[in-house]
Amino acid sequence: MPSLDLILWITTAALSAVVLLRIALARFWHNPALRGLAVMLSVTLLRDLLLARMSFPAHSYTVAWEATLPVLLVSHAYAAISAYTAIAAMYAKIGRFAIRLFVAALVVAAILCAFTTFSWELKRITGTEAFVRWCFLLYRWVDGLAAGGLIQVTAFLSLFRKPFKRMPTNVTRHAALLAAYFSCQSALFFGQNLSGLSGIITVQHLAFTFIAILYLGWTVLLSPHGELTEPWPALPSAVLDHLNDRGEFAAKLARHAAP
């Protein structure tokens, strides 16, 4: 493994372990979003340790990378769903609407991916590299859908529906970091699929540097105070009286207008 690749691998692996330690020491396990993050990082770290024992050009490395990919992607999906669950839990009586909203966001993300990049990637899936490029495509789609769905749902709920309590800062910061993480991975494998298997080394280095920064973000920005959720501040009594007066006035108008 080249020296810079080794440095970046050690850095990202160490920082992911630090995030896991942070979650454990701060007892963030009760937060479903951060529990999903811990599962994803644990799977990622174990997979990286397994692959690190193999030589990169060797056939055994490729087989191990492909064989462990489904487990990794399931952990990514679990982290995304866990983050959305934590966000949706802050909205009163959202019920089945939450499921429909998340599915609709995934459909929109899938359509955007299909009509913007899918045809380009399919042209590259040929020859002896076909299977590994299908794996790249699968990786890109899962993370692209996770990022797109999470971004759309968060934006929709923040614009059109208000939670009954203030959103815990740990949840909002984690959602932003996770969406950035999935977006980075999706962009990396999109570029990988459009180039040679070793044709975007600089982009890979930039992506892993960005991921290391995200790990630092999870380490620094998550806090015990960020787990707290508080009701919205009560309105002043004068404002409440004014609203009540307007409500009573509207009710009187409705009664007089009724036949």
Domain boundaries, the chain: 3-232
Mean pLDDT score of the chain, rounded to an integer? Answer: 80
pLDDT of residue 45: 95
CB 222 within 8 A of CB 28: yes
pLDDT of residue 253: 41
- Quickly state the pLDDT bin for 185 (edges 50, 70, 90): very high
Flag whether pLDDT at 199 surpasses 70. no
CB 166 within 8 A of CB 229: yes
Whole-structure pTM value: 0.81
Residue with the larger pLDDT of the pair 199 and 68: 68
Neighbour-count burial for 103-127, b at 16+ CB within 10 Å, e otherwise: eebbeebbeebeeebeeebeebeee
pLDDT of residue 230: 64
CB 211 within 8 A of CB 12: yes
The three-state DSSP-derived secondary structure of 217-230 is: HHHHHCCHHHHCCC
User: What's the CA gap between 249 and 87, in Å, rounded?
Assistant: 37
Which residues, at least 6 apart from 113, have a Cβ–Cβ distance to it below 8 Å?
141, 144, 145, 148
Q: Among positive and negative, which fits the CA dihedral 82, 88, 90, 96?
A: negative
pLDDT of residue 162: 62
Say how far residue 36 (Cα) sits from the centre of its chain: 10
Say how far residue 161 (Cα) sits from the centre of its chain: 21
Question: Which has the minimum average pLDDT: 41-45, 112-116, 139-143?
Answer: 112-116
- Quickly state the pLDDT bin for 131 (edges 50, 70, 90): confident
User: What's the CA gap between 61 and 59, in Å, rounded?
Assistant: 5
Residue recorded with tokens 């009760």: 30
Flag whether pLDDT at 205 surpasses 80. yes
pLDDT tens-digit profile of 14-27?
999 999 999 999 88
